[in-house]
Structure 1
Amino acid sequence: MATDIKWYEWNPGLHNGDLTLQEVIATLPAANPEDIPWLVRLFENPASPIAFPGAINLTRHDALHALLGRGLRNQDEAFVIGFTMGSSDHIHRWQIHFFRWIITHLYPAPYQFCRQDLIAFDLGFNFGQAIPVRDLGHYPFEKYSAVTLDELRHRLGINAAKLHAIYRFESLLIANSRASHRLDIDDKPQATRWN
């Protein structure tokens, strides 16, 4: 299903648990793998020999955007990447610090993170460490495309109420960003917010 929505407008939120993973992914204006800069692929693609722990392919990365209710802005990307790295049992503190330096100093625009994005990264990392399913970069999301987001969140231990609380906290810590203003902070469903 093609969508006319711009990448910076897309935001699935968390009140979509009755939809299947493939239904939500179909609305995502995804980048082509060849559009991702080589430096980003070098550190984040699991096929790279020097990828960081938590590296994940684009299909699985997109699934996490849907499950975590995050859009595609840098702050959202930071949370999703942090979450994936946090779910890894094979990450060391020095790797976290090195990755944070690389992503704030070496990554090209628009992939480079700012200090505020690192706040979201840290929140995502901490949440990723707290879930029971480990190494989500290896989780076969492709097999579960017809499963509802509620069921997948349950299987993975992703608690939407906890995410609402984390996103409320994030919106206080990073109050002046567009990504924060559209975070799904409300436990009660509202009309779908795409921007």
Structure 2
Amino acid sequence: MAIYNPALQVFLIPLWDHTITLREGMRRLLSIGNDQGEVPFLVKIMENPAFDLPPLSMFRGRVTLEQHDCVHLLLGRGTTLYDEAFTIGFTMGSSKEMSSAATRWFATVAGRWYPKPYRFPKSARRIFTDAVHLGAVSECKPLDRVDFRPLMDFSLCEVRHRLGIEEELLQAYYNVEAMRNPKITACRRLRHKE
């Protein structure tokens, strides 16, 4: 059984921090995160592209754990369940191939059958669904097809620019997410304080 690191509840490199490179962000994230061997089997088969067999192939935009961690950083999200829901949803939506039925089914599985530490609460399921739609309307490259290795020494801001990830679109949604969830710290902290 994995030992839960409490730092996962507070980790965040915010969207407006333009000084951190992708490599440095990954170093910080990996210092507190769990490795692939600690991820429950149900979570692996739902989120990992290695399990791209019917009916799981309906979940488009699935990525490896390393890609997933890079996306967390690029989206300016931490590692709470709400951040997980957004990161997974936006990545899937960016594929432009995630159907409404697949979105509902994924949210149901993640909200009812994921093991307790990974299970999306109701508000996280809404964030997941919103993120799928946001990824679909974004003009960014499909994040499941990005090789992040050559981008490691660029700032997170530069990598977002190269991939077409619109910071303004993300920040506008994060402000809405914070207003909808005023009692959830993970959502409130996303609001940029000018």
TM-score under structure 1 normalisation?
0.88
Separation of aligned partners in 1, 2:174 and 2:82: 11
Supply the distance in 1 between the matched residues of 2:96 and 2:179 (Cα, whole angstroms). Answer: 30
1:133 equivalent to 2:131? Answer no
Structure 1 match to 2:9: 8
Provide Cα deviations, 1:95-132, integer angstroms capped at 9, x if missing partner.
11111111111111111111100221123212211222
TM-score (norm. length: structure 2) = 0.88
Change (3 A) 1:133 1:158: closer
- Provide the rounded CA distance (Å) in 1 between the counterparts of 2:160 and 2:38: 29
2:32 matches 1:32: no
**Higher RCO structure, 1 or 2 (CA under 8 Å, sep 6+):** 1
Which letter maps to 2:135?
G
2-structure distance, mates of 1:82, 1:151: 22
Map residues 74-153 of structure 1 onto 2, 5 A cutoff.
74-153=81-160
Shift of 1:5: 7.5
Say if 1:132 and 1:157, in contact at 8 Å, map to a contact too. yes
Q: Which structure: greater helix fraction?
A: 2
Q: Which moved further from structure 2: 82-91 or 62-71?
A: 82-91
Matches of 2:95 and 2:74, distance apart in 1: 17
Q: Secondary structure of 2:44's partner? A: helix
The percent identity for this pair of structures is 33
Cα drift, residue 187 of structure 1: 6.0
Kindly indicate whether the alpha-carbon contact (under 8 Å) linking 2:15 and 2:167 is maintained by their aligned counterparts in 1. Answer: yes
Deviations for 1:146-194, whole angstroms, at most 9, x for unmatched residues?
11111111112222222222111001111111211221x2263xxxxxx
Match of 2:50, SS?
coil
What code does the residue aligned with 2:33 have?
A
User: Per-residue deviation at 1:84?
Assistant: 0.7
C-alpha separation between the residues in 2 aligned to 1:180 and 1:91? 24
AA in 2 matched with 1:55: R
Superposed CA deviations along residues 27-60 of structure 1, whole A, max 9, x for unmatched, are 1122110000000001100101335211111111
> Offset of 1:25 from its aligned partner?
1.3
Aligned match of 2:172: 165
What are structure 1's unaligned runs of at least 5 residues? 189-195
